[in-house]
Structure 1
Amino acid sequence: MAAVTVDDFKSEKVSKKEAIAFLQENATVQFLKDQKLFGKLQAIAKGSSKDKVLNALTAFESDPVARKGDEDADLAEALEQTKALKIKEDEAKKNQKEAAKEDAAVTDEKVGFTKKIIKKGKTHMKPEKGSVVSVWYTGQLEDGTVFDSNVENSRKKDRKALKFKVGTGLVIRGWDEALLTMTYGEKAEITIDPDWAYGKKGMPNAGIQPNATLIFEVELEVPANIGV
């Protein structure tokens, strides 16, 4: 940009911002730091008084050492670093806002089950997502009709716990989510909303009508490698 003189500034031919921009383009880094004019132009201009800028221009005109030579690349490099830092800060703020929106969306989602503990677990340990669990269960409709069970509908010697990887979508969502809140050895009654069960389609072949709320009595076995 064109040279800015003290007289130009006094006669208000140039603004504070223009004067500071001139100094940032033509003065050494050390001079700008001494005059507290080093940094982002807009912020520096906003925080600097006219007297401060006038004194800086006066000092610049009277001090040849303050002028940036061809070999002085520090200012350009420092300003580029400042711009890069500002970009990173803006990106970090944007990422934080997006993460906050995602967290809010998860928080606002209604939990699709309720749990009532019948018997406390024998340990304080809970299954992790993807771990294999063994479950005893009886499922019934709201009117008390039992539609499935691995406890009641077979002879004792033929009974087998249901085993699967929890939290991986192999069972209805209500089961996946509820079992992850249970401790090993815990027995609970889990009431699951239709959206987290079989939804609008239901499962007519199993006696489950569309939009049915399901009630399960579930017991989570203690793995042999944990012990009690």
Structure 2
Amino acid sequence: MAAIVEQQWDKSTLMSDTIGKKEIVQFLQENAAPRFLNEEKLQGSLKNVTKTSKKDHLTEAYLKLFEKQAFKGSEYDTVVEITAKVATMQVKQCKGKEEEEVHEEPKFKKIVLKKGDKQNFPKKGDKVSCYYTGKLENGTEFDSLQAGSKKKKNMPLSFKVGKGHVIKGWDEALMGMSVGEKAQITIEPEWAYGKSGKPEGKIPPNATLIFEVELLRI
């Protein structure tokens, strides 16, 4: 509960030579809520605030203190404290969610079939190009894009990695591959097409997918 503070000076007294800046600053720092002092830029040592503050600003701050009843322990002080606590809780919750996402257990396994250059790895947002073949666990091939013959060469699949343009298993696995690498990537349903599957692509619900992917360039 805030202590009762009486207004000692009126505006004319404050602006006169009777009351010095130091007295006003001292009164404000002793009685005003931290939030109020921060808003009025009156936090700091008594000496520095007195030196840098103008008399008319201190006068206005003094009168405003009583208008707003912005004293220590008042609702003016309590509201900001509660708001700050809520904001802190929200930040912690957000951080917790981020950490959960970052530390989510990978839903894919990778076996390197051909080593890459071990130097150039794609980052989120990089455009990558690759050839691939996709199969179900029973060996049924559902999709493929390969170089083709010399007479009829196929263009590789190109997309920005890590942006959700492909299934999550691809996004995550490719960011761990270097240019020239060829790998077998087994992706669990959660990071593939999940419970729905992809009927038009001959992929049943809850299917684990096996891809052979070659990262050509970034």
TM over 0.5: yes
Residue identity in the other structure for 2:208: T
Find the partner of 2:152 among 158, 161, 173.
158
**C-alpha distance in 1 between matches for 2:60 and 2:107:** 68
Find the partner of 1:90 among 52, 70, 85.
85
**C-alpha distance in 2 between matches for 1:193 and 1:26:** 72
1:100 CA displacement: 2.2
Note the residue ranges of structure 1 that are not aligned, 5 or more in a row. 1-16, 42-69, 224-228
Find the partner of 2:170 among 175, 184, 191.
175
Match of 1:30 in 2: 26
The 3 A distance-change label for structure 1 pair 156 and 169 is farther
The 3 A distance-change label for structure 1 pair 197 and 90 is same
**Is the 8 Å Cα contact of residues 29 and 75 (structure 1) preserved in structure 2?**
no
**Is the 8 Å Cα contact of residues 150 and 159 (structure 1) preserved in structure 2?**
no
The 3 A distance-change label for structure 1 pair 71 and 184 is closer
The 3 A distance-change label for structure 1 pair 25 and 113 is farther
The 3 A distance-change label for structure 1 pair 71 and 150 is closer
Match of 1:21 in 2: 3
How do 1:22-61 residues align onto structure 2 when only pairs under 5 Å count?
22=4, 24-25=5-6, 30=26
Note the residue ranges of structure 2 that are not aligned, 5 or more in a row. 9-23, 35-58
SS in 1 for 2:217: coil
**C-alpha distance in 1 between matches for 2:185 and 2:173:** 7
TM-score computed with the length of structure 2 as normaliser: 0.59
**Is the 8 Å Cα contact of residues 130 and 217 (structure 2) preserved in structure 1?**
no
Q: How many residues align structurally?
A: 172
Residue identity in the other structure for 1:197: A
**C-alpha distance in 1 between matches for 2:61 and 2:182:** 75
Find the partner of 1:140 among 135, 138, 152.
135
Match of 1:46 in 2: none
Residue identity in the other structure for 1:218: V
1:40 CA displacement: 5.7
Find the partner of 1:103 among 73, 81, 98.
98
**Is the 8 Å Cα contact of residues 28 and 62 (structure 2) preserved in structure 1?**
no
**Is the 8 Å Cα contact of residues 119 and 188 (structure 1) preserved in structure 2?**
yes
**Is the 8 Å Cα contact of residues 116 and 190 (structure 1) preserved in structure 2?**
yes
**C-alpha distance in 1 between matches for 2:200 and 2:109:** 26
Match of 1:226 in 2: none
The 3 A distance-change label for structure 1 pair 105 and 25 is farther
Match of 1:212 in 2: 207
**Is the 8 Å Cα contact of residues 132 and 212 (structure 2) preserved in structure 1?**
yes
The 3 A distance-change label for structure 1 pair 170 and 71 is closer
**C-alpha distance in 2 between matches for 1:206 and 1:75:** 70
Match of 1:66 in 2: none
Match of 2:110 in 1: 115
Which structure is larger by alpha-carbon Rg, 1 or 2?
1
1:26 CA displacement: 5.5
SS in 2 for 1:139: strand
**C-alpha distance in 1 between matches for 2:216 and 2:116:** 9
Residue identity in the other structure for 1:211: N
1:216 CA displacement: 0.9
**C-alpha distance in 1 between matches for 2:116 and 2:105:** 26
Q: CA RMSD in A?
A: 3.9
The 3 A distance-change label for structure 1 pair 180 and 38 is same
